[in-house]
Amino acid sequence: MIFSRSSEYALRAFACLAEVEPGTYVMAKDIAEKAELPSHFLAKILQQLARKGFLKSNKGPSGGFTLTQPAAKLSLMDIVSAVDGTAELDRFPFKNGNGRSQAHNGWKTLRSSIVDYLESTSVADLASGGADRKVRTKKNGSKA
């Protein structure tokens, strides 16, 4: 896989947060339940991302996590690199003697299309409804 289990959990959690009214705080436990993730483990990941500024968090009753930026502005790469770092993605697996083999160019191309995918896809695109739902489910002036 391209990213770790931790990153995957983070992305799925962010997808949940993207589906809720912006500014709404959701508890780690609820996110975990909805996305079918280990809740304690997820909580730790979310805390790390809160420390890094990707989430705001509130303690106590009616607390939880919420996005600090609009989901459309947040790329998968932002999350993955925050959780996993970039070392593994930059690493070149075939250190051949001279460095000029057929496979080298192919790898570079592949790697850049991976990076491209991660950078050009947003958390909003992850949320269900990013594809063919254009109506946005009328979330204008109701609660917030």
Partner DNA sequence: GGTAAAACGGATTTAGTAATCTGAAACTTG
Partner DNA sequence: CAAGTTTCAGATTACTAAATCCGTTTTACC
Catalog residues that contact DNA under the rule CB under 7 A: 4-6, 9, 27-29, 38-41, 43-44, 46-47, 50-51, 57-65
Helix H segments across the chain? 5-18, 28-35, 39-51, 76-84, 87-90, 102-120, 123-126
Under the binding rule (CB under 8 A), the answer on residue 103 touching a second copy is yes
Does residue 60 belong to the site contacting a second copy (CB under 8 A)? no
Extract the tokens encoding 1.
């896989």
DSSP E strands: which ranges in the chain?
A: 55-58, 64-67
Do 24 and 66 touch, CB atoms closer than 8 A? yes
Q: Does 95 bind a second copy (CB under 8 A)?
A: yes
Which of DNA, a second copy, none does residue 94 bind to, with CB < 5 to 8 Å depending on kind?
a second copy
The structure tokens listed for 80 are 């993955």
Place of tokens 């996305």: 35
Q: Could you tell me the smallest distance in angstroms from the CB atom of residue 47 to DNA? A: 4
Smallest separation (angstroms) from a second copy to the CB of 142: 22
Q: Token pair 């949940």 is at which residue?
A: 16
Binding site for a second copy (CB under 8 A): 1-3, 8, 11-12, 15, 36, 76, 88-89, 91, 93-107, 109-110, 113-114, 117, 120-121, 124-132
